[in-house]
Amino acid sequence: MKNILVTGGSGFIGANFIHYVLGETDFSGRIINVDVLTYAGNPENLQSIEKDFPERYIFENADICDLEKLRLIAEKYDVDTICHFAAESHVDRSIVSPGAFIQTNVIGTFNLLEIARERQDGLKLFHHVSTDEVFGSLGDEGFFTETTSYKPNSPYSASKASSDHLVRAYYKTYGIPVTISNCSNNYGPFQFPEKLIPLMVLNAQARKPLPVYGDGSNVRDWLYVRDHCVAIWAIMNRGRHGETYNVGGDNEMKNLEVVREICRCLDEILPADGGAPREELITFVKDRPGHDWRYAIDFSKINQELGWRPAESFTTGIRKTIEWYLENDQWVSRVKSGEYQQWMKEQYGEQ
């Protein structure tokens, strides 16, 4: 791999991935980040990368729905590898406005696969970053494996399922070298504060209400974002073409437990003078329509084939995450201005 086109590199996981690959691995080539900078894309996430790797990091402001522009970029930088993160990623937004999810997640992925097909001769790999949500919802028992059948329940997960099927089809039909990863809920630095963990950290810090959907008993498996990046890089380097790999955090928790842990941790770091414990801020709100009950990942395939397992426990990962948000208050205040305010107002009637 010499010239990796990373899509969605200015978002949460993509930015962490670029930091990891350029900053911590022996990769010596270039990364070309194609991102249209939606509300979730933030060039600030890669400011230090621009400074430290001026020759090896390139930013191209482009929409993956624009096939002609993608073609020009791929030619210009002689792209030999594609790692595809770009997506509309927030389930609640997909319930309110599904159209953008179909455009970016389905049509955008199709366009990138067409680029891969056109460049098939020199192409080393198309890696597709997907989600465990394509498998639908589990009951109290069991785990998602790579052979679990697809049963997506939200417009977001249905659009990601469609994109997974297209990637598989391009492998089977055209022999494009592909790998797919389906992972559980990520958390860590640079996550946009519409997602559960950063939303709760920032609200709890500011002593605002902590909106928990339903009774808070839905279960997610929390994966620290750096562990996810390590898994993707292992798959890209050593994974078998045409295979999918499940990536999980080995950290199943009910949402209410997650929020309580954040409150406990923040009370410890930032004790209030005689203030009430932050748990008292928990407010149960209307449930998400079609809310998946439980996600849990069996990651034995990637463990056995590539020796990967998550390094971070929730206790260590959440501490690092909270400290990152507290230390990066300027990042937070810039992200929370503008579009974010509008979204929060529509969701919770806040100003």
* Short-list 224, 234, 166, CA closest to 197: 224
Is 156 part of the annotated catalytic residue set? yes
* Short-list 117, 36, 26, 115, CA closest to 76: 115
**What whole-number distance in Å separates Cα of residue 71 and Cα of residue 48?**
28
Torsion, Cα of 197, 201, 207, 210 (10° steps): 10
27 interacts with ligand DAU by CB under 6 A: no
Q: How far is C-alpha 336 from the chain's CA centre?
A: 19
65 interacts with ligand NAD by CB under 6 A: yes
CB of 40: closest distance to ligand NAD in angstroms? 3
81 interacts with ligand NAD by CB under 6 A: no
**Strand pairing category for 219-224 and 185-187:** parallel
CB of 82: closest distance to ligand NAD in angstroms? 13
Task: Closer to ligand NAD by CB, 65 or 326: give it.
Answer: 65
Task: Closer to ligand NAD by CB, 63 or 227: give it.
Answer: 63
Identify the burial level of 342 via C-beta atoms within 10 angstroms of its C-beta, where 0-12 means exposed, 13-18 middle and 19 or more buried. exposed
- Which 153-212 positions form the footprint of ligand NAD (CB under 6 A)? 160, 183, 185-186, 192
Q: How far is C-alpha 1 from the chain's CA centre?
A: 23
- Which 260-289 positions form the footprint of ligand DAU (CB under 6 A)? 288
Name which of ligand DAU, ligand NAD, none residue 21 binds, using a CB cut-off of 5 to 8 Å depending on partner kind: none
Task: Closer to ligand NAD by CB, 41 or 239: give it.
Answer: 41
Total binding residues toward ligand DAU, as defined by CB under 6 A: 19
255 interacts with ligand DAU by CB under 6 A: yes
Please provide residue 55's backbone torsions phi and psi, each rounded to the nearest 5 degrees.
-85, -25
CB of 95: closest distance to ligand DAU in angstroms? 10
The residue from 56, 90, 151, 207 that contacts ligand DAU (CB under 6 A) is: 90
- Which 82-141 positions form the footprint of ligand NAD (CB under 6 A)? 85-89, 104, 108, 129, 131
Active site residues: 132-133, 156
Where do contacts with ligand DAU occur on this chain (CB under 6 A)? Answer: 89-91, 131-133, 184-185, 195-196, 199, 211-213, 218, 220, 255, 288, 295
Where do contacts with ligand NAD occur on this chain (CB under 6 A)? Answer: 7-8, 10-14, 35-38, 40-41, 63-65, 85-89, 104, 108, 129, 131, 160, 183, 185-186, 192
